[in-house]
Amino acid sequence: MVSTLKYWYCYVLLVLGLSACSPEPLVPDLQVKAIGVLERFAPFEPVVGTDSVAIFAARNEYEGFQFVITAGRAGAVNVQVSLSPLRNAAGEVIDGVAIFRERYVKVSTPSPHSPYAPQSWPDILLPAANNSPDVRSAYRAFPQNLSAGENVPVWVDVHVPAETKPGVYSGTVTVSADGLAPVELPVQLTVWNFTLPARSPLRTVFGTNGYRVAEIYGFERTGESAADNRLIRAYNDFMLDHYLSPESLWDASPEADADGKPDFQREFAGLGTVTENMRHYMQDKHASAYTYVFADSYPFADPLGKDRAKAQRFMREYAGWCAAHAGAERCYTDPSFVDEPDTREAYAYARHWGEFFDAVPLPNGEKIRYQVSEPPLNEDL
């Protein structure tokens, strides 16, 4: 018995000794791991992922994937990313691919019930296509210099054209840096044998703030700057390409004269007239919905009172114009000025607006589609 205990005691000591002498696990000079599209990793958090990408898409669909680059102990200089064309067995190519670096932003107050701690999280998408040397490093996608253990998340957007043949397409992501061996990440896209419609059957309206976007880029949101207008158009088009309709397409909205007549030939620098811009959004980009740029103080100060007749004339002609270019079923009021009523007074105010819009005569007995977003649990009101 004693000899047996001595045997096991010596065995345990031997194992522990060998473990203590084992070399540390190798840390690659450059690591590239594919992760899920909803996963997030902090700037220096160890990344757990896979060594390949497999995505699936219908024709006429965008599908994305992401991966994280991590520098080794010596860091990495001039990190670059490329993706080869996606090819099928017959050599046919899908080349509608866009690469973005995900820039970190400091989150001091997480959203309610968020599992993520207050720290830096990837959020901003910086297009790799914009690689001008005039762009500051913080806002340039690539190249980037990384310190030891630092992460760079990358988002890739793949567009599958409507005429694409179904089947499997393969390509390779290549990540390189000065003095380091390139790392490859295989990508496989399976294109399904059906096509999404050009316009989403699900009507959406996503709030956007063109004034805030212009401010970030150093513009004043006046509508008179071609560069400013094209910037907002690029944001709108990006959303529409992904089946999301922006709220308040300002460059496709008329102004009113003193009598309430809308000006559909209003010109936006760098873009065109209101009517031309409307055709772009509704016919070329297939927006699922359009919200009238009309509110309780625009284009008239008192639309429920002394300006009622002028405001209703404006909306009658505006709604007819929208129906002609988009179809009446896609035209809605902007809900922001009667958003989520939560008192008796607020509901009464919302009803006044309903009466205002119902009194506007439209062809074929149509009514202006008036939307109010209602909060839950207001049964007693």
Phi–psi pair at 312, nearest 5 degrees: -70, -35
Residue 263 · residue 254 · CB < 8 Å: yes
Q: What is the pLDDT of residues 68-104, one digit of tens each?
A: 999 999 999 999 999 999 999 999 999 889 999 999 9
Query: Looking at residues 8-31, what average pLDDT do you find?
Result: 57
Residue 256 has pLDDT above 50, yes or no: yes
Q: Which residue has the higher pLDDT, 125 or 210?
A: 125
Q: How far apart are CA 98 and CA 253, in angstroms?
A: 31
Q: Residue holding tokens 């589609």?
A: 369
Confidence of residue 12 (pLDDT cuts 50, 70, 90): very low
Q: How far is Cα 283 from Cα 240, in angstroms, rounded to an integer?
A: 12
Closest to 151 in 3D by CA, of 252, 79, 214, 221: 79
Rounded distance, CA 23 to CA 364, Å? 81
The residue type of 342 is D
Which backbone phi and psi does 180 adopt, to 5 degrees? -120, 150
> Taking a C-beta distance cutoff of 8 angstroms, is the pair 281, 252 a contact?
yes
Q: If you average pLDDT over residues 122-151, what whole number do you get?
A: 88
User: Among 10-19, 108-117, 122-131, 345-354, which is the least confidently predicted range?
Assistant: 10-19
What is the rounded distance in angstroms from the CA atom of residue 164 to the CA atom of residue 191? 8
pLDDT of residue 241: 94
pLDDT at residue number 47: 98
For the segment 272-292, the average pLDDT, to the nearest whole number, is 97
Does the pLDDT value for residue 18 go beyond 60? Answer: no
Structure tokens at 50: 């896979």
- Measuring CA to CA, which residue among 73, 91, 75 is closest to residue 25? 73
Task: Give the pLDDT mean for 20-27.
Answer: 55
Q: Place 23 in a pLDDT band, splitting at 50, 70 and 90.
A: low
Kindly give the pairing relationship between strand 76-83 and strand 30-35. unpaired
pLDDT category of residue 26 using cuts at 50, 70 and 90 = low
Find where tokens 């901003």 sit: 124
The strand pairing partners of 22, in sequence order, are none
Question: How many whole angstroms separate alpha carbon 49 and alpha carbon 213?
Answer: 34
CA 140 to chain centre: 18
Is residue 19 very low, low, confident or very high in pLDDT (cuts 50, 70, 90)?
Answer: very low
What pLDDT shows up at residue 137? 73
pLDDT of the residue at 364 = 81
Predicted local distance difference test score (pLDDT) of residue 370: 92
Taken in order of first residue, the domains within the chain and their CATH numbers are 30-195 (2.60.40.10), 210-365 (no CATH)
Instruction: Find the DSSP H helices in the chain.
Output: 2-21, 210-216, 226-241, 274-279, 308-326, 344-358
On the 0-12 / 13-18 / 19+ scale of CB atoms within 10 A, 141 is: buried
Mean of the pLDDT values across residues 181-190? 98
| Res 378: pLDDT | 56
* pLDDT of 64 higher than 90: yes
Look at residue 3 in the predicted model and tell me its pLDDT: 53
- Report residue 15's pLDDT band, with 50, 70 and 90 as the boundaries: very low
Kindly tell me the burial class for residue 240, based on how many C-beta atoms sit within 10 Å of its own C-beta (0-12, 13-18, 19 or more).
buried
CA distances to 124, 127, 368 from 331, rounded to whole Å, are 31, 32, 8
Taking the C-alpha atoms of residue 219 and residue 376, their distance in angstroms, rounded to an integer, is 39
**99: Cα separation from own chain's centroid:** 14
pLDDT given at position 200: 92
Q: Can you give the length of the chain in residues?
A: 381
d(CA 292, CA 361): 16
Q: What rounded mean pLDDT belongs to the chain?
A: 90
